[in-house]
Amino acid sequence: MPSYLLIETRDPFDSSCFIQHCELAAALVRDGGKVTLFLLENGVLGARSTARLPQLEKLNRLGVPVLADEFALRERGISGAEIVDQVKAVPLSTLVDELATGAKALWN
């Protein structure tokens, strides 16, 4: 099974790329791939419960782990209590570990 690591750095309210990346993740899963979505930099803004992004719920239903960089969350004043259940806050070393699995990585 091909595996993919999608890295999203853009604010979902600043660029449609965030949503397109979520759609790409869903399409890859439907094609039989294993996908992890990692939110970095302004991408973590999409993790706030107040962002209300249905795309993250959809990815959750498809079994796509959505991870968010703890540092980027802290940097933006977003506490763990403010992020949606579908997103797990992790250290950046987790991204390195994901890379080491050999997953095809795509930075956006």
Parallel, antiparallel or unpaired: strands 104-107 and 87-90: unpaired
**Residue whose C-alpha is closest to residue 24's, from 8, 43, 1, 45:** 8
Give the number of residues in contact with another protein, rule: CB under 8 A: 18
Q: Does 105 bind another protein (CB under 8 A)?
A: yes
Judged by CB under 8 A, the stretch of 28-36, 58-66, 82-90, 96-104 that binds another protein is: 96-104
- The minimum distance between CB 2 and another protein, in angstroms, equals 13
Burial (Cβ within 10 Å: 0-12, 13-18, ≥19) of residue 56 = buried
Q: Does 62 bind another protein (CB under 8 A)?
A: no
User: H or E segment at 38?
Assistant: strand 34-39
For another protein, the binding residues (CB under 8 A) are 7, 9, 40-41, 71, 91-93, 95-97, 99-103, 105, 107
